[in-house]
Structure 1
Amino acid sequence: MSERTAPRRGAPSAAQGIERYLRHVALERGLSANSQAAYRRDLEAYAAWLEARGVRDLSAVTPETLSEYVVDLGRPADPAAEAARPPLAPASITRRLSTVRGMHRFLFEEGLLESHAGSGVRTPKRAQRLPKALAVEDVEALLAAAGGAPEDGAPGGDDPVGLRDRALLELLYATGARVSEVTALDVDDLLTGAGRGDVWGDPLRALGEGGLLRVTGKGSKQRIVPYGSYAGRALAAYLVRARPPMAERGRGTPALFVGPRGGRLSRQSAWLVIRAAAERAGITSEVSPHTLRHSFATHLLAGGADVRTVQELLGHASVTTTQIYTQVTADTLREHYLLAHPRAR
């Protein structure tokens, strides 16, 4: 059936189209609650833009309408406007347009719209920005500043919050997991090898040499990621000395990382932990949870890891997403070339 000739069973309003599409992405595509919330924000902003122009029926939206929407998103804010907003960056415009296109495509395929208004609409070119990664020395300083350092292979430190923060940052850097993935972990997601004992019974024996982590990523897809002895010992110290007294303040939770009231640690709290550690470490560049993820990927590739392996560890659906990290290691490759090749100079 032609994309321009699909039958229409009754064009929905913007509000009806949004609710129908959000049910689709929640039930059939299994998007996370965070992704659903982002979709809703983008689509409600789009609906408000349509309403301001008197467009209430999605069948009235044309490719020209969406092109105008893209241009408007990139315009400087009008100080005289009631709801003045800054112009969006190309990446944000691309994300919003992708969400809007997805809704129009879905409604077209459901036979609720006669045409797919998003086809042929160009997105703005995105600047190729390299991910920000810390030097290995800065990562080590960041981890040390978190406190609760295991010394000489044994659990160290007495402050429960410091022990938790050190374990959190060690695990983020050791696995490259997203902060939302790490805060969603349960203790039972720490996997141990045969003969290593039980995490609940003897954490140091079970985790001290490292292990595997069961991570649930976007779209509820699970992957297994290894972590080393540094993260393992930090986790063991936290599970022995810090988590029990912190967790008993709550109502009982399987969460790996808990807050001061015994509930699951939030993403926002994890972000504050990282920022505080960066300040104590004297790191002047901006550091976020994603910085450790970028550093993980960059350092692996610089050390000779295969791009496909890094893709699997990060949970990227496409290797294209991972390949941006290969540009970060270009300086390292050039340095190795200059040192190793007899006719490089």
Structure 2
Amino acid sequence: MSQIQRYEYSGELARADTYDVSLDWPADARDLRDWLAGHYPDPGDPLPLLGGAWCASYIESASSRRAAATRLRRWVKFLLDRGLHPLRAAFPHAEAFAGFLRQETAPRTGKPLAPSTRRGVLTTVTAFYVYAASRTHGKAYNPFNGVQLPKLPRTERRARATPALPQDDRDRLMTVAAGNPRSNTLVLLLYITGGRISEVCNLDADDLFKHGGRWVLKTRRKGHSDHVLVPVPDPVAVVTRAYLAGRTSGPLLLSENGLRWDQTGVRRHLKVLAKRAGITGNLRPHTFRASHITDRLAAGEDPVNVQHDVGHASVETTLAYDRRPRELARHAESLDRLSAGLPGLPAATQEAGQNTEMR
């Protein structure tokens, strides 16, 4: 294998000169840092700090942190067995790891790992390298760029996709939210932009501006280092600017104490709104993203365009939200259009529609 230049770590990246940031980390993150430091004990190696900080960034739930740490350990153990360092791994090593996962079996069942399990491991480890690159000014190379993810059966993709809000529930919720400028802005931005909760919470007041004659939001999509511009309909921009009340700096969405509204606070607020709107079940921020995608697909939009707009890595992920019914009538109309005017076919007659229905 040809030599590939890899990121050589510097002790400066591993030091916190005035404050130990890990004191604010959850226990899972500190455990991962200590585990990495046990295998890579060089004091100048930034890997333990990067791994711990990355794990700590999973603030949504403790289960997400534990799953992320377990998946990263899986990759690191694979490299340890081969005498490799994660920050010097190359594409062939990542591709070999994907092949290794295909051969691995689940401890409980003894069966090969499901495609969704393998996909989850690969996407999580990729997320670690994206995080590492953002914290090392691009010096941390991502060896998983170009590694093909396992394809999920369509039935499994649909089962895993967050269900969308029924239209009646959506409208009742938005009616309730409209009574409060902050609630209204939150719900509209989640639904209209189709953004992830992390993307919406990270918006700043100056991320809303005019570009090319229309309002846009500058946001950073998951897994991308560059910002993208998301168009905002004029009525939504009016509501958002009214909520901002002239603010041009700082977080766009503020909590009641004037700080950036975090994901935990947003989740709690959505539960309150759902209760007031009479919506049963678990209303999550991702429900609005699912509704955005589902409603656009139901309106007949090209899935590839929707995939690009919401930042999905694959159109397969977007199609998992496709809840359009496959009615016989719609299928029949499509075939009628397809066959219209073909040579050798008789003209459609009324008698053709008078056959006895199949029971």
Determine if the TM-score, normalized by the shorter chain, exceeds 0.5.
yes
**Structure 2 residue corresponding to 1:239, chosen from 220, 235, 244:** 244
Calculate percent identity across the aligned residue pairs: 27
- Write the distance in 1 (CA, Å) between the matches of 2:184 and 2:127: 41
**Structure 1 residue corresponding to 2:182, chosen from 139, 150, 164:** 164
C-alpha distance 283-16 of structure 1, shift in aligned 2 (>3 A): same
C-alpha distance 22-50 of structure 1, shift in aligned 2 (>3 A): closer
In structure 2, list runs of 5 or more residues that go unmatched.
3-35, 85-95, 129-146, 337-347
**Structure 1 residue corresponding to 2:165, chosen from 134, 148, 155:** 134
C-alpha distance 181-263 of structure 1, shift in aligned 2 (>3 A): same
Q: 1:45 and 2:70 equivalent?
A: yes
Match of residue 81 from structure 2: 58
Once the two structures are TM-superposed, the CA of residue 254 in structure 1 deviates from its matched residue by: 1.3
* Structure 1 letter corresponding to 2:220: T
- Write the distance in 2 (CA, Å) between the matches of 1:56 and 1:336: 53
- Write the distance in 2 (CA, Å) between the matches of 1:183 and 1:47: 26
Q: What is the CA deviation profile of residues 19-73 of structure 1, one whole-angstrom value per residue up to 9, with x for unaligned ones? A: 77678999xxxx998479999855743688899x9x995339998996897512x
Match of residue 329 from structure 1: 324
- Write the distance in 2 (CA, Å) between the matches of 1:320 and 1:57: 34
**Greater relative contact order: 1 or 2 (C-alpha under 8 angstroms, separation 6 or more)?**
1
Residue correspondences, number: 267
**Partner of 2:228: helix, strand, or coil?**
strand
- Write the distance in 1 (CA, Å) between the matches of 2:173 and 2:317: 26
Computed over aligned residues only, the root mean square deviation of the Cα atoms, in angstroms, reads 5.1
Q: What is the CA deviation profile of residues 107-130 of structure 1, one whole-angstrom value per residue up to 9, with x for unaligned ones? A: xxxxxxxxxxxx9xx999882324
**Partner of 2:216: helix, strand, or coil?**
strand
**Partner of 1:215: helix, strand, or coil?**
strand
Match of residue 96 from structure 1: 121
**Structure 2 residue corresponding to 1:15, chosen from 27, 33, 39:** 39
Once the two structures are TM-superposed, the CA of residue 175 in structure 1 deviates from its matched residue by: 0.8
> What pairs up with 1:160-239 in 2 under 5 angstroms?
162-192=180-210, 211-218=215-222, 219-239=224-244
Is the CA contact (8 Å cut-off) linking 1:93 and 1:124 kept in structure 2?
Answer: no
Match of residue 265 from structure 2: 269
- Write the distance in 2 (CA, Å) between the matches of 1:194 and 1:258: 28
- Normalised to the residue count of structure 2, the TM-score between the two structures is 0.56
- Write the distance in 1 (CA, Å) between the matches of 2:72 and 2:303: 40
- Write the distance in 2 (CA, Å) between the matches of 1:259 and 1:281: 21
Q: What is the CA deviation profile of residues 117-161 of structure 1, one whole-angstrom value per residue up to 9, with x for unaligned ones? A: xx9xx999882324411122221111112243xxxxxxxxxxxxx
Does 172-181 or 297-306 show the bigger shift?
297-306
Match of residue 71 from structure 1: 106
Is the CA contact (8 Å cut-off) linking 2:75 and 2:125 kept in structure 1?
Answer: no
Is the CA contact (8 Å cut-off) linking 2:205 and 2:244 kept in structure 1?
Answer: no
Is the CA contact (8 Å cut-off) linking 1:170 and 1:230 kept in structure 2?
Answer: no
